[in-house]
Each structure stands twice: as C-alpha cells, then as structure tokens.
C-alpha cells in the first residue's frame, strides 16, 4: 500500500492486571490524503482537541472492549465502553467517506460501525487480511511501529462477547 502522510499517532496501551503492566506503544499513520474526514475524527480523539461542554474527550483512558484472535481488536468506545457508544467530531454518526483502501493486511485501522453511515468513535485494527470487510468499513490508517503490541493484545484471554478478561487501556495518546 503506497499511501503517504507525515502525521503519526502513538497511543500507549497497558494491560491492567496488577496496577499498570504496560504492553507497549503502537505508532499509527493516518491516510488523511485518501479519507481526510475519517482521519481527522480519529486524530482529534487522539489529541483530546475535541471538547464536549468544554471538556476534552477522546481515547485517553478508553479500553479495547472486543478482541477476536486472528481477526481484529476493537476499541474507541469512550462513551459506554462496551461497543454501543457513538460519538464523532461531527456531532453524530457520519457517512462512509469512501472505500478506496482495502483490508489487505494486518495492522490496518478501520472504522467500526453498525451499518452504512454509522461511523463514530469506534475503530478496529486488523490482525489479518479481512477482504470481506471491504466496502463495509472505511480503512483510514495503519500501524507503522508496534505490530508486536497488537499481537499481544490479540492474544489476551477473552470471555463472553469477546470481551478481554483483563482491561486493555489506552494510557496515553496524542500526535507525534
């Protein structure tokens, strides 16, 4: 995939078993030249720029609520924390920008949704090629450093509804 963008984001993830057992950092590159609206939504939630009633909201402190080995890891629901929350910098769900980029490899960032035009704050990271998602979910970035961290999260034990048995928390996030 030949998509260039110089802005990178590096959330730190930790697995809270004892107090803070840090898993590591993933650096992400956003494809703002292909999907600018989707990339900007993610960027503002990473930096905390977006504010609701004057209070910054975003991914810091948010968890990965769904982990499916050999498929994907999903997070970003800072509204409810369980995959039901929707929030965007556009004040509500927003439409699928385009489907030019494909789910062709592990480490791609894509919007989680509940159907066409329902993008919000939730995202997932592919753990393998997922071509059956093409045309349904917008790919907007990729991991450029930290695939091993993704693999560690992918292998966390899960319970009902693919919920990790240990909280996987985005401890820090921002723009590099």
Active-site residues, by number, are 66, 71, 74, 113, 124, 133, 137
> What residues have CB less than 8 Å from 29, skipping those under 6 apart?
3, 5, 7, 8, 9, 141, 142, 144
* Long-range Cβ contact pairs of 69-72 (< 8 A, separation 24 or more): 69/127, 69/154, 69/155, 69/158, 70/127, 70/128, 70/154, 71/126, 71/127, 71/128, 71/130, 72/124, 72/125, 72/126, 72/127, 72/130
Going by C-alpha positions, the residue among 86, 91, 63 that lies closest to residue 173 is: 63
Q: Are 94 and 111 in contact (CB under 8 A)?
A: no
With 0-12 CB in 10 A as exposed, 13-18 as middle and 19+ as buried, what is 131? exposed
């Amino acid at each position: 995939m030949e998509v260039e963008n110089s802005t990178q984001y590096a959330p730190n993830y930790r697995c809270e078993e004892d107090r803070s057992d840090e898993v590591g950092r993933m650096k992400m590159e956003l494809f703002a030249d292909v999907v600018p609206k989707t990339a900007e939504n993610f960027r503002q939630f990473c930096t905390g720029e977006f504010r609701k009633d004057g209070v910054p909201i975003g991914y810091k402190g948010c968890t990965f609520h769904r982990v499916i080995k050999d498929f994907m890891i999903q997070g970003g629901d800072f509204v409810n924390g369980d995959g039901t929350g929707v929030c965007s910098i556009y004040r509500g769900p927003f439409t699928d920008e385009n489907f030019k980029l494909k789910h062709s490899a592990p480490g791609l960032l894509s919007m989680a949704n509940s159907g066409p035009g329902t993008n919000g704050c939730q995202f997932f990271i592919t753990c393998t090629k997922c071509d059956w998602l093409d045309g349904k979910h917008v790919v907007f970035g990729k991991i450029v450093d930290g695939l091993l961290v993704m693999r560690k999260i992918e292998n966390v034990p899960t319970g009902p509804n693919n919920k990790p048995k240990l909280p996987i928390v985005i401890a820090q996030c921002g723009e590099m």
